[in-house]
Structures are given as C-alpha cells and as structure tokens.
Structure 1
Amino acid sequence: MAAYSPSLVFTVTRKEPELIVPAEPTPHEFKQLSDIDGQESLRFHVPIIQVFPNNNGVQEDPVRVIRKAIAKALVFYYPLAGRIREGPRRKLSVECTGEGLLFIEAEADVKLDQFSDADLLPPFPCLDQLLYAVPDQSDVLNCPILLIQVTRLKCGGFIVAIHVNHTMCDAAGISQFLRTVGEFTRGATQSFIPPVWDRHLLTARNPPCVTHVHLEFTQIPNDFFPSLSTLIQRSFFFRLNELSALRRQLPPHLAQHCSTFDVLTALLWICRTIAMSSDLEEEIRVMILVNIRSRFNPPLPVGYYGNGIVFRQQ
C-alpha cells in the first residue's frame, strides 16, 4: 500500500500476520488484573512507535532478531501471550493461554532520512502504514494483548510500531517488557529486571475505606468542551533555550524550585484555558497522570509491570 504524508510518498509491503508464542512451555492459568487495570478509562489499545537508524552498518536482519527475542521474553512475561477475559461485575483477568502476540513483518521502499520531523512525530501521518490495523481495535477482550509490526527501511534502519492493551500495562510496564526484548536481541539469557505480577496490591478494599474527602475530584460542569472533531493535534518540543525563556518569566522563588514538568504544565493549562473559555470566573482544572509506584509504603516491587498510574486533578 502507498503511504501519504505531508512530505513523502512511499510503499509498505506486509507479510501475513503471525503469532509469536513463548520459546518455552509456560503455565496455563488465570491471573486477576487489579482494579486500576480494569477501570473503564484504560480499556483501549495504545499505539507506540520506535525508530532505529542503522548507525553501525549492521547487516543482520532486524525482523529475525526481534522475532526470536520476543519469543524468549514471553517466557518471562507469559501473561502477555494470553487473552483478557471478563468475569462477574466486569472484573478482568488474563487467561495465560500461550497463544502469543500478533507480529507483522513489513518492508518500506524509503530511507529514514527521507522522513521529515512531521512524519515521525505525533500525530504520525504514516502510522496507518507502520502499524497494522486489526479489524476491531476497540475490543480489549479475547484478542492478542500485543501487536508488533517491524518495518525494514532501505537504509538498513527499521521502525517498530506496537499496539498494547492498556488494561495489561502502562507506559512503564510496556517499557520494561521492551527493554527485556532489547536485552535478548543483544544475547542475554535472563531478564535484567524480573517481572512481578502482584496485581492484588492495587485491588480495592471491600468494603472501601475512605479516610479523607478529596475535593479535587468533585464534579464540575463540563459545558464548554468542544467536539473532538473540531480539535487539531500538534506536537511542540521545548528545548533548553525555550525552557530557560519560560523560567525567566517566573518569580524568582518559583523559577528556582519548579520542575520542568510544573513549568510546562502550567503554561499549557493557561494557554488552553484562554483558548477555550472567556469567563474569568469559571473553574477549569487540569488532570495529570501520576506514577504511584514509589508512593506506597513500601513501594510497589521493582519489576511490577501492571498499571501503576492514577489521574490527579488540580
């Protein structure tokens, strides 16, 4: 198929999708997901794209190497080769069937240096060609948890695009798995960070025990939000000189102590508020994803690859 981007036209040829199963036998069992894993807001697939230039002139076939490394990594992360099931009260679990993840081998008649920044930054106009589209991408049940397409480029570089079922992993979790795959491509025989399941640690108490009123989660009217069809997605990259310029506009006590995340979040919140509301008295909040792995006492175990995020409103 032909791909069309703002600056480039190229052709991608895909082979038939295949299933990669663990390289060794794995247990057939059911593992309960946590209540954070199963929340409605995480029941979707997340696309990920990674670009690898051929800096060292390596001639080894990346598809063959990655395919073999995935099979080895799935021995340790064998739930990723299973299927998500839904039980009573919509509780989710994974049946560790060993059926495998979906893998697509592809070839593109283009070199990496032919892509512009706009091609390989969100919203990725070429993503439809670099990531295979399954028939029903909205379904998170009874289907492969991971889909990986590896596309060879004419220059020897390659692109790895991934669909991951968010009910199984967050960004930190899938990064941990991909790091393990990378270790096996370099000849490792063991996972550097052994995976930890322990989803029971994030299962809600029954009955619940709430000891503090969280006013930040009080519902406020949401009458001004526009239709999604009218929104335009753009990417903005802030480098050191831009960040320094922003900090110079802050009072001295804030400029010294605010993190980069605080500065950028405040800037985006102010700009979005001005753009979307003319009522200076209207209450508008910002919602932030927070990694809670280190916020427990004791922290979640190193190697925990489930969802360890919560939404925080301010």
Structure 2
Amino acid sequence: MNVTQALNNQNSLLLSFFSPTMVTLKASYMVKPTKETPTGLMYLSEFDQLVAITHAPTVYFYQPSGELTLNSVIHTLKDSLSKALIIFYPLAGRLQWIARGRLQINCNSMGAQFFEAESEAKIDDFGDFCPSSKIRALIPSVDYDRPIHELPLLLVQVTKFSCGGFSLGLGISHILADGECAGHFISEWARIARGKKPENFPFLDRTILQLEDPLLKTSFDISDFNPPPLLIGHSNNTEERNKKTVVVMLKLSKEQINKLKNKANEYRNSETSTNRAFTRYESVTAHLWKCACKARQHESKQLTKIRIPVNFRSRLQPPLPKWYFGCAALPVATTTTSGDIVSKPLSYAAEKLREVIENVTDEYIRSCFVFLKNEPDLSKFRYFHIVGSSQGVFQGNPNISVTDWTRLPLYGADFGWGKEIYMVPGAIGFDGKAFILPGRDEDSSFLIPWRLQETHMDAFKKFFYDDI
C-alpha cells in the first residue's frame, strides 16, 4: 500500500477540501493522550444537546521564521496536544446517540485527528482573511453522513505556506465546547507547548447543569425555539436555502462604533431598558439587523427574527465554576416586522435585543432546562452550520443570527514561536449569519464576517456604512 492509499483509507471519514493547486495533504496522525485518562460515558447537559452537530472552525496564522521548521512545529504541536488531552480528555472521545434524540460522550481516548499539509499560497494571498473556500481549505472537513461515533471531536491541520509562514486550523465539536471553552483549551494547549505546566484545569462535570425543580414555575418562552418566520408568500424555505450567498469582512473603527452607540441611545427609553445605555454590541447588532431588512427589501409586514446566544455562566445562581467546560450559551430570539425595524430609530431594534438578553435570568435558565428535559426529542431544535445544507433549522432570509465574540480570548495563541498574526473563523455557515470580533490591534474596533445572499450584498454594504 502506498502513502496516498494509506492516507485515503485512514481518513475516509473526511471530505477533501484540498485544492490540488493550493493545499496538499502530506501526512495524518491520530493524537491520543500520553497517559491513561478516565473512561466511560459522560453526561451532556440539555444545553449541550441544542447545539449543531458540527465542528467550530478557526484558523491561526503565524509569520515566517528562519529558525522554525515544519518538522519542529509538528513535533511541538503533537507532543503538547497529547499532554493537553490528558486534562481535556473528553476531546479525545467520541459522541454516541442515546434515547430521545440525545447524545453522550464516550470517553474512549480514540484521539484527535491531526493533519500535516503544504500550500503554494503565501500568507499575503489571503488578503483581509475573510472566511472563504481558501480559508476553509486550511481546516479539516468532516463527512457528517458517517456514523457519529466515528467522528473525531477535535481536528487539527498545520499548513505550511511557500513564504515560510504557516497556519493552524482547528475544528472543535460544537456539542462539546462553546467559544469560551474553545479559547480556554487553546490557551492551555499553547501554555503546555511553551514548556509550562497547565494553569487552569477545566471543570468537566456537566451534571452541575442538571437543574431539575418540579416546583419551579416556568418563565421560559417557547417562542425562542419556534421555527423562524418565512418570507411572505412562501410555504417553506427551500428556495432561500438554495440561493447563492457570499461572505464579506466588515470593519468598524472605534469612531464608527461610537457613532452607532450614540445613535442607538439617542431615543432610548430609560423606563424599559433598565436605565443603562445600550452597549457597543447591542448597537452594532441592531444596525446589522436594520441594514439587512433594508437590503432584502422586505414588505413592511414581513416578520423577521434575530437569534443570539447569551452566555449564562454568571447568570445562574450560584454561577457556574469559572473553568466550566461545556456549552453554556442559551440561544434566544426576538421577532418583529421589517417595517418597524426600518422605519423606527435604531433604539427600537436595540431595545428588542436588550429585552431578550436581560430575560436570561437564573429562573429563566432553570425553567428552560425543565422544558428541554421534558421534550421527547431535541433534534428538532438543532440548527446546521453548513452552507446549502437541507438539514436542521434554517436561519436565513428574512432572519439573521449574530454571535458575540468580543469578550472571548481569541488572540494570543503562542505555542513557542510568538503570537499569531491573525485569527479568523474558518466559515460563516448560512445567509444572515455574522460574528462580531474585536479588532486585532486592540484599538476598540470590530471585525464582522457576514454572509448574505449575493443579490443583496452590495445594497447591504452601502446601507451599512452610509447609515452610520
């Protein structure tokens, strides 16, 4: 058997995203913990069960260094990963289905998949690092038609560029980790790679989120989990799913963000917004929603829904342990008409966001758990993160979904050769999806990768900048 056949057989569960003119797969390994770790089945909370069965893709770019060879990078990353998986051992396991459309982790130390690749490209070829097929080729992709118990929960790809620089592409199971957990894992892995001992051990017992309370009076709003509105005159979203979409990297300076914040707070109703000014995130997200409605040219009575995840770690009483390793972001949503979003001041959309964010209280989280616990099958609530997918809940036109990454530890992944020069999400999954990231230079700016139907993008960009 030759090398190519061996790689093809070993990685049959992976779809090839490698363009023969851009990225070439050189080797593949399964990295396992260097020491024996706990085995057996691990509980996943009801909040873990809501998340898409996909891998969150991110890419870190590192500048060329004459003292650094690909072999030394691979050795350092593999060796440190095998040590990091001792304390983050669920990432070396596999998911498996149980009753009622739910999942659990089989902690079996099967390992993380690690790829070594080379590219003819230079780092400069990636321009503004907008998520694209070029960026996506730097991260392993999974064939989700395979049985779930065969899929690694952590995927790693190191790609060396012709300029001497390289990228570290990661795919981390959405089910196992939200953004805060992923940042925690990468930080500890990098620390180990630098020859230091782990500093902040993860809290792995997810049973802490078994929040049963038969006497609890529910305050949970089922509408948060209802299917999003369809375009007027449509009986399904098939047509919208199939329309061509494009991704852009929007950039907002500190001055532009402050203008939007001032604009949102100009007509703020202090009686309904807890007398606290709208945040930068609320103001910019409201602006995204308003510009999307204008660009899509909705009828005034068109219902439009925005979906946002709210980190509830500190909202529970008592709060979750600081280094809790699991999904602790509850998706919430609010719906109104496009006519109201477009015609009313920016404070209207910001107020809609504020209402659902502040609704995520200890009581709300607990009542949500009770609701989910009693649901016979949670699969109907899961959404999917793959462009063009026919699976899962579709969040596209006339709706949007915005994830706040402004408070996550996104930058500073130093594995021993300095911090990354750039970090970006590897993909933006569907029409109307955006992430809000802090600017790389710590200058209070925002970067916003945003996907929209191609026919609407030019109009959207005009409104987005002209209406500030």
Asked if 1:45 is matched to 2:51, the reply is: no
Amino acid at match of 1:202: L
Task: Answer whether contact 1:147 1:164 (CA < 8 A) is retained.
Answer: yes
Asked if 1:279 is matched to 2:299, the reply is: yes
Amino acid at match of 1:162: L
Task: Answer whether contact 1:45 1:140 (CA < 8 A) is retained.
Answer: no
Match of 2:212 in 1: 205
Give the CA deviation at 1:151: 0.8
Count of residues paired in the alignment: 304
Asked if 1:233 is matched to 2:241, the reply is: no
Mapped partners of 2:68, 2:324: distance in 1: 35
Q: Which residue, 223, 246, 257 being the options, matches 2:260?
A: 246
Q: Which residue, 264, 268, 275 being the options, matches 2:288?
A: 268
Deviations 1:78-129 (A, max 9, x none): 1111111111223321111111010001122333233311xx222x221343
Mapped partners of 1:95, 1:175: distance in 2: 23
Mapped partners of 2:190, 2:247: distance in 1: 31
Mapped partners of 2:167, 2:26: distance in 1: 15
Percent pairwise identity:
25
Asked if 1:95 is matched to 2:103, the reply is: no
Give the CA deviation at 1:200: 1.3
Unaligned runs of 5+ in 1: none
Deviations 1:140-188 (A, max 9, x none): 4432111110112233321111222211111111111111111011111
Match of 2:460 in 1: none
Q: Which residue, 304, 312, 326 being the options, matches 1:292?
A: 312
RMSD: 2.9
TM-score by length of structure 2 reads 0.59
Which range moved further: 124-133 or 17-26?
124-133
Mapped partners of 2:163, 2:262: distance in 1: 43
Task: Answer whether contact 1:81 1:101 (CA < 8 A) is retained.
Answer: yes
Give the CA deviation at 1:46: 2.1
Give the CA deviation at 1:201: 2.4
Amino acid at match of 1:310: L
Which range moved further: 105-114 or 18-27?
105-114
Give the CA deviation at 1:253: 6.7
SS of 1:24's equivalent? coil
Amino acid at match of 1:227: E
Task: Answer whether contact 1:44 1:138 (CA < 8 A) is retained.
Answer: no
Which range moved further: 200-209 or 138-147?
200-209
Unaligned runs of 5+ in 2: 1-15, 232-236, 269-275, 335-468
SS of 2:137's equivalent? helix
Amino acid at match of 2:230: D
TM-score by length of structure 1 reads 0.85
Q: Which residue, 23, 26, 31 being the options, matches 2:34?
A: 23
Mapped partners of 2:90, 2:298: distance in 1: 49
Give the CA deviation at 1:247: 3.7
Mapped partners of 2:260, 2:144: distance in 1: 43
Asked if 1:308 is matched to 2:310, the reply is: no
Change (3 A) 1:253 1:155: same
Mapped partners of 1:138, 1:261: distance in 2: 38
Amino acid at match of 1:196: F
